[in-house]
Structure 1
Amino acid sequence: MATEIQGNKAQRLAFWGIPLAIAVLGLKMLAWWVTGSVALLSDGLESIVNVVAAIVAFVVIGYAAKPADAGHPFGHYKAEYFSAVVEGVLIVVAALLIVAEAIPAILAPKLPETPVLGLAINLVAGIINAIWAYTLIRAGAALRSPALTADGHHIFSDVITSIGVLIGLVLAILTGYAVLDPLLAVLVACNILYQGWKVIARSVDGLMDKAVPADEEEAIKTAIAANAMGSLGVHDLKTREAGAAIFVDFHMVVPAAMPVGEAHDICDRLEDAIREVHAGAKIAIHVEPEGEKAHGIRVKVIEGLRS
């Protein structure tokens, strides 16, 4: 239930990202139209990616929030990583388009027209993007949404690009070196390529069943150690992230004569404790009867968890 609520919140945010991305795209293309600046055009081309990415994120987050079914018994959470991969690829495409526009302008550079108006329009678009990027990154972390986080980081890179464009165009106007405009566009493309690579790398890492961050795993260990009374120890703790969901798996050793009901009560207590750390965590506990060899090892493990 908790992951479904998170998914609904993430999808609502993703929806509002679509009209916002279209509005920012309109502002940036208007800035390019009034100036003819290749650097401003490069900034606008990246915003086309933002629009497509916002639409993809909205669709994929909705799909990822679907409950588990017979075909996908562990849920659809990983779909968000595909959205982030698609966004990374689109970022790379945008960078290549920028380079294609910049090369002819390097060979025949010219100063932008009505630069003050164009820079002012682009500045407004940059401020909108900065606020939205901050909102998405915070929400992505809180809702454990890779798609929102990737979108936020991409838009933040767009903000950095806009700042670079503004600085570069001011230098071109002040110095009279028109070639600074297309050269800056190439630098923008390089930055976009780097950001695209980071988005893809983070997404592929998630698809590979990456463990939860070290601090979160430590919190899970602490919860287990504090609530494993009655057991003889735990071992083989494994965690993994899949979009908004967290999966926790471990083995618990109990006395061989312990009734099933008592072992089940310990499992319930552990599950409740872990979900206080991670609401909606998917937990699998394998209960094992004590054995002479396993007993000594596993008691040490749980003592280590308490330290």
Structure 2
Amino acid sequence: MTNQRTLAVAGASLVIGLIVLGLKGLAWQMTGSVALYSDALESIVNVVTAIVALIAVRLAQKPADAALPYGYHKAEYFSAVIVGVMIIVAAILIVREAYFGLMAPEMPDAPVEGLMISGVATVINLVWAYVLIRYGRKVRSPALEADGKHLLTDVISTVGVLVGLVLVFTTGFAPLDSILAGLVALNILWSGWGVIRDSVGGLMDVAVPPETQKVIREVIAGNAEGAIEAHDIRTRQAGKMTFIDFHLVVPGLMSVEAAHAICDGIEAKLREAVEDVMITIHVEPEEKAKHNGIVVV
């Protein structure tokens, strides 16, 4: 059910992106504003990234197989990197248009109608950005969360453009339109860098957050009765999946059955404490104890 809902959200993001693109394109056509053109150009990126996110979410849901025995979860990180690259490409195109606009500044047309249409598109984006970020964090989907963050950046850019265009029309200073487009480009570049930075961390097998690591260590320490210690605890995040592996030291004379029962107990409690987790435990005899890991209580 969660997988189907996630796909539905990703699909809805594409539909909404097309609607917003149509509205912003109309606002640009009505006004001829370079700033609104830059805003519409960013919406094209939104549509492309929504398509990429939909493909990545679908691929990430594929079960593990012989080719990828740990699953396809990292597909979403590749999607987020592509989103970041597309954002940067959009920013470069906007800078180009801003430059030409500064060389030959012109006052935009139909200010009220264009601003109203762009405002409606901005409200749609704001609501949907909130939905994507909240849902993406809930299901731990890097692709959806990255899409939501980009939309939020789009909202901030558009609000700045709308305020600036009001100043353009009230002051009659035409070059301000192109200056606004350049500021939009800078904001987009910063957003793209943030998306790429976060995604590369996932591709590099970044560890889970410190608070989650603390929970993991507490669960192991409190549910390994009969063992001696746990050491070399490692974690990594891949999409919504959390991977945990560690060495569990048990008395040398303990039977395989008893050691296996301890591992089963730890795994059961870890699954209760951490969602979507894959656990690997390597059992070792007491002479392998390092005396620097978790002492079992």
Same fold flag (TM > 0.5): yes
Give the whole-Å Cα distance in 2 for the aligned partners of 1:279 and 1:244: 8
Compute the RMSD of aligned alpha carbons.
Answer: 1.3
Letter of the structure 2 residue corresponding to residue 175 of structure 1: T
Q: Which runs of 4+ in 1 moved over 6 A?
A: none
**SS where residue 85 of structure 1 aligns?**
helix
Give the whole-Å Cα distance in 2 for the aligned partners of 1:277 and 1:83: 28
- The TM-score normalised by the length of structure 1 is 0.94
**SS where residue 144 of structure 1 aligns?**
coil
| Shift, 1:99, TM fit | 1.3
6, 13, 24: which is aligned to 1:10?
Answer: 6
Give the whole-Å Cα distance in 1 for the aligned partners of 2:278 and 2:201: 20
Alpha-carbon displacement from aligned partner over 1:175-219 (angstroms, at most 9, x marks no partner): 111110011001101111111111111111110000011111111
Letter of the structure 2 residue corresponding to residue 94 of structure 1: A
- The TM-score normalised by the length of structure 2 is 0.97
Partner of 1:28: 24
Alpha-carbon displacement from aligned partner over 1:60-80 (angstroms, at most 9, x marks no partner): 110111000001001011111
Partner of 2:218: 222
| Shift, 1:279, TM fit | 2.2
Partner of 2:235: 239
| Shift, 1:277, TM fit | 1.6
| Shift, 1:237, TM fit | 0.6
Letter of the structure 1 residue corresponding to residue 16 of structure 2: L
167, 172, 180: which is aligned to 1:171?
Answer: 167
Give the whole-Å Cα distance in 2 for the aligned partners of 1:54 and 1:296: 49
27, 30, 37: which is aligned to 2:33?
Answer: 37
Partner of 2:294: 302
Letter of the structure 1 residue corresponding to residue 155 of structure 2: V
| Shift, 1:102, TM fit | 1.4
Alpha-carbon displacement from aligned partner over 1:127-179 (angstroms, at most 9, x marks no partner): 11011111111111111111011101111100011111011101111111111
Mapping of residues 34-183 of structure 1, within 5 Å: 34-183=30-179
Give the whole-Å Cα distance in 2 for the aligned partners of 1:9 and 1:202: 24
**SS where residue 43 of structure 1 aligns?**
helix
**SS where residue 294 of structure 2 aligns?**
helix
Partner of 1:186: 182
Give the whole-Å Cα distance in 2 for the aligned partners of 1:280 and 1:180: 50
Give the whole-Å Cα distance in 1 for the aligned partners of 2:276 and 2:100: 54
Aligned length: 297
| Shift, 1:268, TM fit | 0.8
Contact kept, 8 Å, 2:60 with 2:72, in 1: the verdict is yes
Partner of 1:256: 252
Letter of the structure 2 residue corresponding to residue 129 of structure 1: N
Q: How many percent identity over aligned positions? A: 53
Q: Which runs of 5+ in 1 are unaligned?
A: none
**SS where residue 223 of structure 1 aligns?**
helix
201, 204, 221: which is aligned to 1:205?
Answer: 201
Give the whole-Å Cα distance in 1 for the aligned partners of 2:289 and 2:73: 37
| Shift, 1:9, TM fit | 3.1
Contact kept, 8 Å, 1:50 with 1:155, in 2: the verdict is yes
Partner of 2:275: 279
Give the whole-Å Cα distance in 2 for the aligned partners of 1:8 and 1:19: 17
Contact kept, 8 Å, 2:240 with 2:276, in 1: the verdict is no
Letter of the structure 1 residue corresponding to residue 93 of structure 2: L
**SS where residue 297 of structure 1 aligns?**
coil
Please, which moves more after superposition, 225-234 or 41-50?
225-234
